[in-house]
Amino acid sequence: MASLTVSAHQNGPMPRQSAFTIDSILGLDRPDQRTVLSAPYRPWTDVKPACQNRRVVADSEASVNVRMNEDGKSYSKSPTDSYRRTLNWYIGRRPRTAFSSVQIRILESVFQVNSYPGIDIREELAKKLHLDEDRIQIWFQNRRAKLKRSHRESQFLMVKNVLSDLQTSREEH
């Protein structure tokens, strides 16, 4: 096993006993304490609890047609959707929605005017863009986060610029 050989040549003596040291992860100190950390949580790795093999067929065909939303139309709210939801409950994640460029354009222009649309506007958007209202809500959430981030970042850059300007002008005298 590679972890043994690697953990063997770690940096020197026992480092410190913080809750988790790299060395403890590398299993240096304890040959087998694999109780807490031992199951690396890889949801896709196992087929999940054994009892799921029932309707996987139906589900799998559902998961195929996930996002057909090219321009005008997105995926439908067919019964396969609920199957997919069921499957995702096992697998754990909603398939990523790919918004069309038209949808994005509309969402962006609404965002410019109102970044906190109420339920009524969201529903309206949902109907017009053929999306779930949920998707709209999440989209606005993420969009607000993005705006906020970019604000922080540009401020950071401004501060950095000012500082480096100061530095420069100081050096010139």
- With CB under 8 A as the contact rule, the residue among 78, 141, 142, 164 that binds a second copy is 164
Residue span binding a second copy (CB under 8 A) among the ranges 82-90, 91-99, 132-140, 154-162: 154-162
Our finding on whether 113 is near a second copy (CB under 8 A) is yes
What is the three-state SS of 101-117?
HHHHHHHHHHHHHCCCC
Stretch near a second copy under the rule CB under 8 A, chosen from 77-85, 87-95, 134-142, 152-160: 152-160
- Report residue 173 as tokens: 């005298």
**Is there binding between residue 133 and a second copy (CB under 8 A)?**
no
Site for a second copy in 61-90 (CB under 8 A): none
Q: What 8-state DSSP symbol labels residue 35?
A: T
Separation between Cα atoms, residue 97 and residue 131, nearest integer Å? 10
Contact present, 54 and 38 (Cβ < 8 Å): no
Site for DNA in 125-164 (CB under 7 A): 135, 137-146, 148
